[in-house]
Amino acid sequence: MKKLTYLSLLALVMIGMMTACNKKQKEEEQPKAMNVIYMIGDGMALPQVYAAMLATGEEMSFEQFPYIGVVDTHSASNEITDSAAGGTALCSDHKTKNAMVGMNPDTIPVKTLLEVFHEQGKETGLVVTSYITHATPACFYAKVPHRRQYEDIAMQLAEADNINLAIGGGRKHFNHRKDSLNLIERMENELGWKVYDTLDNIDVTCKKYAVLADDGHMPPAAERGDFLPRAVKTALKTLDGAENGFFLMVEGSQIDFACHANDSAYMVDELVDFSYAIQVALDYAEEHGNTLVVVTADHETGGLTMPDPQGKYTNVVFNYSTRSHTCLPVMVYAYGPGAEQFTGWMQNTAIKGKILNACGLENIGDGLPEGEGPKIKAVKVNLDTKPE
Q: Which residues are catalytic?
A: 83
- How many Cα atoms within 13 Å fall on the side-chain side of residue 166? 28
| Contacts (Cβ under 8 Å, ≥6 apart) of 69 | 331, 332, 334, 342, 343, 344, 345, 346
Of 37, 76, 94, 117, which is closest to residue 337 (Cα–Cα)? Answer: 37
Contact, 260 vs 323, CB < 8 A? yes
Of 370, 290, 380, 285, which is closest to residue 327 (Cα–Cα)? Answer: 380
Contact, 207 vs 164, CB < 8 A? yes
- Which residues lie across from 252 on neighbouring strands? 41
Burial class, 364, CB count within 10 angstroms (exposed 0-12 / middle 13-18 / buried 19+) = middle
Q: What is the DSSP string of 168-215?
A: EE-THHHHS-TT---HHHHHHHTS--EEESSSTT--TT-SSEEEE--S
Of 37, 247, 250, which is closest to residue 163 (Cα–Cα)? Answer: 247
- In angstroms, the CA 73 to CA 40 distance is 13
- In angstroms, the CA 274 to CA 224 distance is 13
- In angstroms, the CA 322 to CA 328 distance is 12
- In angstroms, the CA 252 to CA 127 distance is 9
